[in-house]
Amino acid sequence: MGKKEILEKFSADPERYYKVRLFDEKGFERKSCMTCHRYFWTMDEKRTNCPDHSDDTYSFIGNPPTKKRFDYTQAWKEVESFFVKNGHTSVNRYPVVCRWRDDLYFTIASIVDFQRVMGSKVVFEFPANPLVVPQTCLRFKDLENVGVTGRHFSSFCMIGQHSIPNDHGYWKDQCVDLDYKLVTEQFGVDKNEVVFVEDVWEGGGSFGSSLEFFVKGLELGNAVFTEFQGDLSNYKTLDQKIIDMGAGLERFAWITMGTPTAYDCCFGPITNNLVQQAGIDADCELLVRYFTEIAKNLERFGDLSDVRKTAIKSAGISEEQIKKIITPLEGIYLIVDHVRTLIFAISDGALPSNVGGGYNLRIMLRRIISTLDRLGLKFDMNEIIDTQIDYLKKTYPELEKTRNDVKTIIEIESGRYENSKERMQKIVSKLKQKPTVDDLIRLYESDGVTPDYLKEMKVISEIPSTFYTKLSELHQSKKIEKQEHPPLEGLPETELLYYENDPREFDAKVLKSFDKYVVLNRTSFYARGGGQEPDHGKIAGFDVVDVNKHGNIVVHELKGGVPKESTTVSCVVDSKRRDGITKHHTSTHILNSSSRNVLGSWVWQHSAFKEEDHARLDITHHSALTDEEVTKIEELANAKVKENIPVTIQNFDRGTAEQKYGFRIYQGGIVPVKSVRIVSIADFDIEACGGTHVKSTKDVNLIKITRTKRIQDGVVRLEFVAGDAAREHLKEYEIKISKMSEAQEAKKKLDEERERSKQESRRIIPLILKDFAKKNIGTKIDTIVWADIHLRATESGKFCFAFSSPYDEFFHVTLGKELIKKDPTLVYFGIFVENNLVRVITFAGDKVPESKNAKAIAMETSKILGGSGGGNAHLLKEEVRIYINNLRP
Ligand SMILES: [Zn+2]
Ligand SMILES: [Zn+2]
């Protein structure tokens, strides 16, 4: 079923699908476009073409059709006051990071705010009916258009007008009435200028008719009437019909201002500031001509560079003007657009990275820097951020809170890019031919080389228009893990005792047993979930080794056998294990908020794992943690433990919980149920969580971070222990420390001794050498013994044996060396004790035969003493030192 077929069917019956009260009342006429034959509704008798094919297309540029002028901020105030006046609730925007849907990274439309996925079904939850919302939406598919077309943004404000037709809400007639009045009365556009075009919408198994409304060729909004479910051959009316009118706030501002581009009136003073700083002498008349041509030609060509070429020709622009005006302006538009998107994304907790949604943010920041470099612009990034937030906070006051965090992240990320430039340059210098789109994707995916950098380096002249589309498709959807489906049909949901009085011993009925698995009618065994490991224990005497939840049914895995179906069995939960896991779970919450407090607002739980004796928490953070940060996090966590804050658990309707606490509650991911369990540690940490928790933070006793590690770009792991495990860890740690300090003390003593013996050696060695000269064989000085040594039949040498525990290596090496220099027939043998080792150092002079050289003696010694020896073979005759180790003195 395609859009085309639905449109054909609906347009064949306009009375039923498109004719609304307004058209009758005001005398709108239905016409078919002379060019494309699409149907549209107009009050203008002379109009013969649809807005895409009319002569007046984009004629508002330089000649706005309203008397009033509203910029971005004012335009929202107008829209909001209009809808509120007409019975709507104005709802604050939802985060741009779409944490309530696991198939989207970012919020792409206002309707997404109210969609919740339950199983395979999308359900709608509206906090009010009817409502209006200024929803910031992020879309990355048209990145190459941003800055160039005058109307494409990487993020924009979708005015969401939503209604469910019931006692409070309305349906088509009133919706179109309101949209018409908004445009004509509130904004003051002449009624003949408003054109409604027939269209359809389909997605997610439902579809319906829609009316797009245009003024002077600019599509301002699209009122979608989601009405049916199924496909054209077999469909039924939805139980819950929905009005999904989405309009572009930027366009409402633009139509009243008539500036050359929508960028000129939607970023506040920043665009003008930058144009001035860059010294661009922008002639407005020329820009009006150029951007009107761009707008008109955009739909005509597939490739943006063709659009540009045609516009340049039609507007009669010189090479010089392109270089001096158009190109730098496009750069400035791109920069302000991308910075605005980064402000929203970072404020809502997303980080630039090489994975998931963070990916698009990184590529945008790199585009900003490349564009600045390519155009030789020297802008102050912090100033751009400040000016934008100052402007945006009139509509979105929450951005004030994250102003500094946005700056921090952008600075860190910019620094990383600058550092990687040298490497990128090397890769680029190796490129032999002009890269294809696939090459570009590979270059970015594996080496982080952006096409904007290649453009900056003049490797390519334009970025192929398919690049960002392909790239964003690659990173669009999150992977959803496949689940196994055990044979559980027809079983009722398991009663979960751990959410009630949590008995550690209970009886239950066996509903089903198969292989090594058993399903009970009720259980107090916690099933693996939310990063919390399952309970162990016994069911009917068999060991419980694993517990998992499939839908609402808990399946226990047993070892050694399973009980018979329909029997009643007694069950025991391993309390020690459960208590350990529970302490680690509450500690995860404490550490998560501690980390955010210490590090910054961008910290979110990425994932977590809680076992009996250890746990880990992965958080989103841009860099590896420093020791100081780890200490601070741990200190704050333990301060919260000491405060003895009660841990409270309350169930809320999901919508209520979201409105009351915001989306921070989704630290552990989405909650696919209507009622959410909110675990609060006062207002320090509030999360939606299905895990088990202690009653008060003091029960955790102690939290000790044992290790931290950067596990992927933008994610840091904290390994920690809590409760008894932390105490155990601390005990071991203290023993280690005391051992270390003992060892340190011993080492200090030894060093002192060494120093003393060195001094003593310096005094005594000359005396020994003097004695040696006298050749008093057999004499003993201190612990030095001289002896004759029989070298060969005719020759004899001297043997010196030194046992001098007060002296160390320095003494023996110095003395040995000196002695064999003086008498090459001499063999020196020194023995001393160091730490727990007995060390032997031998030297043999040049003229000592191999059988009696240093190595031979050392080997002989080691045979007797049973130690191990080693030496330096090629220095055998002059100096061989052999240590005999591993000997107890
Ligand atoms: Zn047409
Ligand atoms: Zn939790």
pLDDT tens digits, residue range 52-76? 899 888 999 999 999 999 999 999 9
How many other C-beta atoms are found inside a 10 Å radius of the C-beta of residue 281? 8
Nearest alpha-carbon partner for 39 in 223, 199, 222, 201: 199
The structure tokens listed for 236 are 């039924």
Helices (H), 717-853: 724-773, 809-822
Alpha carbon of 265 to ligand 1 centroid (Å): 28
Coil, strand or helix at 889: coil
CB contact at 8 A, 112 and 101 = yes
CB contact at 8 A, 706 and 726 = no
Alpha carbon of 197 to ligand 1 centroid (Å): 10
Coil, strand or helix at 654: helix
The structure tokens listed for 117 are 């996925």
The structure tokens listed for 261 are 């581009």
Sheet-wide strand order for 675-681: 647-653, 675-681, 685-688
d(C-alpha 350, C-alpha 480), whole Å: 20
DSSP output for 457-476: TTS-SS--THHHHHHHHHTS
Kindly state the average pLDDT of the residues 189-205.
92
Alpha carbon of 52 to ligand 1 centroid (Å): 5
The β-bridge partners of 242 are: 226
Alpha carbon of 172 to ligand 1 centroid (Å): 24
Coil, strand or helix at 179: helix
Alpha carbon of 51 to ligand 1 centroid (Å): 7
Asked if the model's pLDDT at residue 884 lies above 70, the reply is: no
pLDDT number for residue 740: 77
* Ligand with minimal distance to 195 CA: 1
d(C-alpha 432, C-alpha 417), whole Å: 24
Alpha carbon of 173 to ligand 1 centroid (Å): 25
Alpha carbon of 691 to ligand 2 centroid (Å): 5
pLDDT tier at 481, thresholds 50, 70, 90: very low
Alpha carbon of 54 to ligand 1 centroid (Å): 8
Alpha carbon of 298 to ligand 1 centroid (Å): 14
Alpha carbon of 523 to ligand 1 centroid (Å): 65
Exposed, middle or buried by CB within 10 Å (0-12, 13-18, 19+), for 284? exposed
Coil, strand or helix at 584: helix
pLDDT number for residue 813: 80
Alpha carbon of 180 to ligand 1 centroid (Å): 21
DSSP designation for 187? S
CB contact at 8 A, 713 and 621 = no
Asked if the model's pLDDT at residue 595 lies above 60, the reply is: yes
Alpha carbon of 670 to ligand 2 centroid (Å): 12
* Ligand with minimal distance to 50 CA: 1
d(C-alpha 190, C-alpha 453), whole Å: 47
Alpha carbon of 689 to ligand 2 centroid (Å): 4
Asked if the model's pLDDT at residue 871 lies above 70, the reply is: no
Nearest alpha-carbon partner for 589 in 576, 611, 605: 605
Nearest alpha-carbon partner for 413 in 457, 354, 453: 354
For residue range 683-726, list pLDDT tens digits in order: 999 999 999 999 999 999 999 999 999 988 899 999 999 998 88
* Ligand with minimal distance to 585 CA: 2
For residue range 395-433, list pLDDT tens digits in order: 999 999 999 999 999 999 999 888 888 888 888 888 878
The structure tokens listed for 613 are 């004796």
d(C-alpha 503, C-alpha 553), whole Å: 19
CB contact at 8 A, 889 and 836 = yes
Alpha carbon of 42 to ligand 1 centroid (Å): 13
The structure tokens listed for 422 are 């040298």
Q: For the chain, what is the largest distance between any 2 Cα atoms, rounded to a whole number of angstroms?
A: 137
* Ligand with minimal distance to 53 CA: 1
Alpha carbon of 432 to ligand 2 centroid (Å): 53
Question: In what helix (H) or strand (E) does residue 28 lie, and over which residues does it extend?
Answer: none
pLDDT number for residue 476: 55
The structure tokens listed for 5 are 């077929």
The β-bridge partners of 29 are: 42
Alpha carbon of 48 to ligand 1 centroid (Å): 9
Alpha carbon of 300 to ligand 1 centroid (Å): 12
Residue linked to tokens 């600045």: 372
pLDDT number for residue 475: 62
For residue range 423-459, list pLDDT tens digits in order: 888 888 888 788 888 888 888 877 778 888 888 788 8
Nearest alpha-carbon partner for 696 in 610, 595, 590: 590
Beta strands 685-688 and 703-712 are unpaired
Alpha carbon of 727 to ligand 2 centroid (Å): 22
Tell me the CA end-to-end span of the chain in Å, nearest whole number: 90
Rounded to whole angstroms, what are the CA distances from 317 to 65, 287, 299, 356? 27, 10, 21, 42
pLDDT number for residue 482: 45
* Ligand with minimal distance to 615 CA: 2
Coil, strand or helix at 206: strand
Give the whole-number percent of the chain exceeding pLDDT 90. Answer: 60
Residue positions counted in the chain: 889
Alpha carbon of 297 to ligand 1 centroid (Å): 14
For residue range 745-790, list pLDDT tens digits in order: 877 887 787 778 777 777 777 777 776 666 565 556 566 777 777 7
Alpha carbon of 53 to ligand 1 centroid (Å): 5
Asked if the model's pLDDT at residue 526 lies above 60, the reply is: yes
Q: With helix as H, strand as E and coil as C, how does 98-151 read?
A: CCCCCCCCECCCHHHHHEEEECCEEEECCCCCCEEEEEEEECCCCHHHCCCCCC
Asked if the model's pLDDT at residue 869 lies above 60, the reply is: no
pLDDT number for residue 879: 52
Alpha carbon of 32 to ligand 1 centroid (Å): 8
Kindly state the average pLDDT of the residues 611-624.
94
d(C-alpha 65, C-alpha 67), whole Å: 7
pLDDT number for residue 354: 81
* Ligand with minimal distance to 591 CA: 2
* Ligand with minimal distance to 35 CA: 1
Kindly state the average pLDDT of the residues 236-262.
95
pLDDT number for residue 718: 96
Alpha carbon of 50 to ligand 1 centroid (Å): 4
Nearest alpha-carbon partner for 604 in 326, 231, 350: 350
Coil, strand or helix at 523: strand
Give residue 723's region: left, alpha or beta (phi > 0; psi -120 to 50): left
Is the sign of the CA dihedral 681, 349, 657, 618 positive or negative?
negative
pLDDT tier at 886, thresholds 50, 70, 90: very low
Higher pLDDT, 878 or 800: 800
* Ligand with minimal distance to 692 CA: 2
Alpha carbon of 686 to ligand 2 centroid (Å): 10
Kindly state the average pLDDT of the residues 509-535.
94
Phi, psi of 441 (to 5 degrees): -65, -45
Kindly state the average pLDDT of the residues 573-595.
96
pLDDT number for residue 776: 60
CB contact at 8 A, 395 and 134 = yes
Amino acid in the structure at residue 452: D
How many other C-beta atoms are found inside a 10 Å radius of the C-beta of residue 287? 22
- The C-alpha angle 737, 742, 748, rounded to 5 degrees, equals 120
Phi, psi of 216 (to 5 degrees): 50, 45
Question: In what helix (H) or strand (E) does residue 189 lie, and over which residues does it extend?
Answer: none
pLDDT number for residue 23: 97
* Ligand with minimal distance to 590 CA: 2
* Ligand with minimal distance to 51 CA: 1
Alpha carbon of 253 to ligand 1 centroid (Å): 25
Cis peptide before 352 (omega within 30 of 0): no
Alpha carbon of 678 to ligand 2 centroid (Å): 9
DSSP designation for 182? I
The structure tokens listed for 745 are 């003390």
CB contact at 8 A, 681 and 707 = no
Q: What is the mean pLDDT of the chain?
A: 88
For residue range 801-815, list pLDDT tens digits in order: 777 666 777 777 888
Alpha carbon of 589 to ligand 2 centroid (Å): 6
pLDDT number for residue 873: 40
* Ligand with minimal distance to 617 CA: 2
DSSP designation for 241? E
pLDDT number for residue 700: 95
pLDDT number for residue 783: 67
Residue linked to tokens 């044992």: 706
d(C-alpha 862, C-alpha 865), whole Å: 5
Alpha carbon of 56 to ligand 1 centroid (Å): 13
Asked if the model's pLDDT at residue 799 lies above 80, the reply is: no
Alpha carbon of 582 to ligand 2 centroid (Å): 10
Beta strands 827-834 and 796-803 are parallel
Alpha carbon of 301 to ligand 1 centroid (Å): 16
Asked if the model's pLDDT at residue 266 lies above 60, the reply is: yes
For residue range 301-327, list pLDDT tens digits in order: 878 889 999 999 999 999 999 999 999
Alpha carbon of 585 to ligand 2 centroid (Å): 6
The structure tokens listed for 436 are 């294809």
> Ligand 2 being an ion, which residues bring their Cβ within 5 A of it?
689, 691
Asked if the model's pLDDT at residue 10 lies above 70, the reply is: yes
Amino acid in the structure at residue 20: V
Could you tell me the pTM of the whole model?
Answer: 0.78
Asked if the model's pLDDT at residue 588 lies above 70, the reply is: yes
Helices and strands in the chain, H and E counts: 24, 31
Alpha carbon of 609 to ligand 2 centroid (Å): 10
Higher pLDDT, 334 or 127: 334
